[in-house]
Amino acid sequence: MGSIKEPSLFYQSVQQSGLPFVAEASGIYYTLSNGQKIIDSTCGAAVASIGHGDRRVKDAIIAQLDKVSYAHPGYFQNDPSHDLADELVATTKRQMARACLTGSGSEAMEIAVKLARTYHLSMSPKSPRSHFIAREGSWHGCTLGTLSLGDFKGRKAPFQELLMDNVSRVSACNPFRGLRQGESEEEYVLRLQAELEAEFQRVGPHKVAAFVVEPIVGTTLGCVAPVQGYFEAMKEVCDRHGALIIFDEIMCGLGRSGTFHAWEQLGIVPDIQAVGKGLGAGYSTISAVLFNDKVVAGLEQGSGYFEHGQTYQCHPVACAGALEVQRIIRSENLVQNVAVLGDYFGQRLRDRFHDNQYIGDVRGRGFFWCVEIVKDASTKEPFDPALQISKRMRLRGLSRGYDVCLFSAGGSVDGRRGDHFLLMPPFIVRQDEVDEIVERVGKVVDSVMMEVASGVQGQKIVGLSNSA
């Protein structure tokens, strides 16, 4: 492996990707097939939360393989799935009552939507609600249903005619770009609450099944947390009209933002919550949907049955791996490490870029940070998307002499314009490793922006495509 040949593997392009081959991974480092060693400061995509190569997880997976590798979840139960569900519910202090275990984040969000619909159909009297209100600048997955919920314009465009027409949108709570000059945060919240209320009235309050949000927005807007009081105001509208609240915590949850669940720091508990990525931390492919007693009670008014089932739900090996990951996070107090070092990480990033004319904002919580790049920090004007600034930074980071991962993204202004990158290191990093990440990232930014300032942006950059 690692040699150039006509590929059999198809990921996103029929052309050779040119991406480097990973040979090994240990702790917070990747080793490439050419021997280059790179800091994994993004956990892939907020996945590898306990780092790479943890023997304890490997042993747990092997032990489960020696017992049973698979049994159809519609015919048999297994201990690891029950144990993992118990572990997840316990982290909510029983504010969530049940956990449904599945394979990926997109699958989890599909289940969340279908669960909300089933809840309303089960209520007495039956309420055939089928409309969902989501937010601008959101991202909820790659399936047709989750693409419909999301607002990742580039990924939606080829499939627009296939998407659901029962989804509408309101503004995200994005203070960097949404807070008006002279407007207080309290006034901003009231304006957004009024916008949500107006959307309920436009659609018809009795038609809305749920309000769907990333509580701390990930890829598309870049680690955008709400201002204080925002979710309490949104919940007031939803409760008054009988709609559920669905939190997509697939990227920001399970410790990533400095608390085990992002909602712990946001003032409300959702009715339904999707988690993934860090659940299996890359050791197993798994996600989950948690829901509260209110939803359980609603389902019990009907048959109590959820018309859904997938081959790899409750997979015993995936659950065993994820359970060990979560036990490690709990036993080693890794979420506390994220909370403490996360504040330090954010301050180091702000210090490094405070006088950089091309850095519009540094924002985030825990180990979930974003740097937004702009043409002019004073006006927040973005660069021309054709320059692909953030992707250039990602590729530069992977080159020798820089040796750091950046998660590049775009569209933070209007779905097309805007460059930013995310930094999401493993929960196990030390303070000196945080310093090293900031140093390497700063070197990447300086290098690329020096090229841009000197006019290199007008040249064709080898290795760039149209994706972020």
Alpha carbon distance 110, 114 (integer Å): 6
Distances (CA, A) of 321 to 23, 28, 63, 337: 22, 19, 10, 22
What does the pLDDT read at residue 458? 41
Residues facing 363 on adjacent strands? 370
> What is the DSSP code string of 353-384?
HTT-TTEEEEEEETTEEEEEE-SBTTTTBPPP
Two tokens, residue 241? 């009209």
Rounded to whole angstroms, the Cα distance separating 138 from 134 reads 8
Query: CA-based Rg of the chain, rounded to a whole angstrom?
Result: 22
Instruction: Name the H helices within 39-160.
Output: 43-46, 55-65, 79-91, 105-122, 144-149, 153-156
- Single-letter residue type at 207: K
Q: Report the distance separating Cα 465 and Cα 468, nearest Å.
A: 8
Q: Where are the beta strands (DSSP E) in 225-380?
A: 244-248, 272-275, 287-291, 359-365, 368-373
Structure tokens at 178: 């949404």
Expressed in percent and rounded to 5, the helix, strand and coil fractions of the chain are: 40, 15, 45
Q: How many residues does the chain have?
A: 468
pTM (predicted TM-score): 0.94
Number of Cα atoms under 13 Å in the Cβ half of residue 349: 28
Alpha helices in 166-275 (DSSP H): 175-178, 185-203, 230-241
Residue type at position 187: E
Specify whether the CB–CB gap between 314 and 111 falls below 8 A. no
The 3-state secondary structure of 4-70, one letter per residue: CCCCCCCCCCCCCCCCCCEEEEEECEEEECCCCEEECCCHHHHCCCCCECCHHHHHHHHHHHCCCCC
Cα 290 to Cα 55, 130, 252, 465: the distances in Å are 28, 20, 15, 38
In single-letter form, the type of residue at position 431 comes to Q
Three-state secondary structure call for residue 238: helix
**Tokens linked to 370:** 């974003």
Encode the chain (468 residues) as per-residue pLDDT tens digits: 555 556 788 888 888 778 899 999 999 999 999 999 999 999 999 999 999 999 999 999 999 999 999 999 999 999 999 999 999 999 999 999 999 999 999 999 999 999 999 999 999 888 889 999 999 999 999 999 999 999 999 899 999 999 999 999 999 999 999 999 999 999 999 999 999 999 999 999 999 999 999 999 999 999 999 999 999 999 999 999 999 999 999 999 999 999 999 999 999 999 999 999 999 999 999 999 999 999 999 999 999 999 999 999 999 999 999 999 999 999 999 999 999 999 999 999 999 999 999 999 999 999 999 999 999 999 999 999 999 999 999 999 999 999 999 999 999 999 899 999 999 999 999 999 999 999 999 999 999 999 999 885 444 443 343 344
User: How many beta carbons lie within 10 A of that of residue 312, not counting itself?
Assistant: 17
Q: Are 420 and 370 in contact (CB under 8 A)?
A: yes
Specify the 3-state DSSP secondary structure of 265. Answer: helix
pLDDT for 11:
87
Q: Rounded to the nearest 5 degrees, what angle is found at the Cα of 76, between the Cα atoms of 75 and 82?
A: 135
Helix/strand/coil for 174: coil
Partners of residue 170 on adjacent β-strands: 135
